[in-house]
């Protein structure tokens, strides 16, 4: 099983390098643009500009309106939500679905299914390999954030809040992968990957757009509701309930996906 995970990691290493490069660009621009504004007067200008932003914009990228503009909230709104939650989450779901359907689409099923390993263990191996990739991407984001903060003099991002923010992403990304695998087992092979990625984007849109409306109850049905990035980054608190919900849902989705995959007829 470990050798198979190692094989999967070698096949996906380009994805990790690609994510590290994208994250470097976004983080460097975010930290540099903040560091370019020094002094109390420029800080007041930033805060005033922040107050003038449309509330819907702040709600979309911040999932809430911070009382004051600081580097942590700026980091979440300008980088973390879009790249880490939406895009990396969508990739995780896409890769999760691909772990099931690529055997058919790429005609590799006979090779893998001939290995002396059950389908359940095969799917679990793929889950662990994808989680290693997205976990590595999250670690890369954290390291790059610390390095660019030192480079541009943004010491505010060197605290534990940013560490908690990245750690909290692991159960969220695990749920994205598990749901992607589940969709890969129940949807047509050609639709599973784009639908899985689109579902993550839709999930976040429903969460943010339902806040403060009569439909806010829909937000509690979304995964991103249990990953309040702005709250974690600014207040440095992580809810055990949020982590528990994400972990439980991930385990359930993975278990159901493995059960279906075990019995599913593969047209290979």
Q: How far apart are CA 219 and CA 236, in angstroms?
A: 22
188 belongs to a structural domain: yes
- The domain tally of the chain equals 1
Range(s) of the domain holding residue 138 = 2-263
34 belongs to a structural domain: yes
pTM of structure? 0.87
**Number of other CB atoms surrounding residue 67 within 10 Å:** 8
226 belongs to a structural domain: yes
Q: 74: Cβ–Cβ under 8 A, 6 or more apart, which residues?
A: 30, 34, 46
Structure tokens at 159: 């605290």
Q: How far apart are CA 14 and CA 137, in angstroms?
A: 11
268 belongs to a structural domain: no
HSE at residue 195, side-chain half, CA atoms within 13 A, is: 16
pLDDT tens over the chain, length 268 residues: 566 566 666 666 677 777 778 888 888 887 777 655 555 555 665 666 566 666 777 777 777 666 667 778 878 888 899 888 999 999 999 999 998 888 765 555 555 565 666 778 888 888 988 998 888 889 988 998 888 888 877 777 777 889 999 999 999 999 999 999 999 999 988 899 999 999 999 999 999 888 878 888 888 899 999 998 888 888 888 999 999 999 999 999 999 999 998 877 665 5
For residues 27 and 145, the answer to whether their CB atoms sit within 8 Å is: yes
């Amino acid at each position: 099983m470990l050798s198979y995970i190692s094989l999967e990691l070698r096949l996906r290493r380009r994805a990790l390098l690609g994510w590290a490069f994208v994250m470097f660009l976004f983080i460097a621009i975010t930290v540099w643009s903040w560091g370019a504004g020094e002094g109390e007067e420029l800080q007041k200008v930033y805060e005033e500009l922040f107050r003038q932003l449309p509330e819907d914009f702040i709600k979309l990228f911040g999932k809430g309106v911070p009382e004051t503009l600081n580097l942590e909230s700026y980091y979440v709104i300008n980088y973390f939500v879009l790249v880490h939650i939406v895009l990396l989450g969508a990739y995780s779901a896409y890769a999760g679905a691909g772990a099931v359907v690529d055997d058919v689409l790429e005609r590799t099923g006979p090779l893998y299914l001939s290995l002396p390993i059950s389908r359940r263990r095969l799917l679990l191996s793929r889950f662990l390999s994808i989680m290693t990739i997205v976990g590595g991407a999250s670690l890369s984001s954290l390291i790059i954030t610390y390095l660019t903060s030192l480079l541009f003099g943004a010491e505010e991002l060197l605290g534990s809040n940013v560490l908690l923010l990245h750690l909290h992403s692991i159960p969220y990304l695990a749920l994205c992968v598990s749901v992607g695998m589940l969709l890969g087992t129940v949807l047509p092979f050609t639709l599973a990957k784009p639908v899985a990625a689109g579902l993550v984007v839709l999930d976040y849109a429903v969460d943010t757009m339902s806040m403060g409306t009569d439909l806010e109850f829909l937000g509690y049905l979304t995964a991103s509701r249990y990953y309040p990035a702005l709250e974690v980054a600014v207040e440095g608190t992580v809810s055990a309930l949020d982590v528990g919900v994400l972990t439980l849902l991930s385990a359930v989705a993975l278990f159901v996906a493995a059960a279906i995959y075990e019995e599913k007829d593969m047209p290979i």
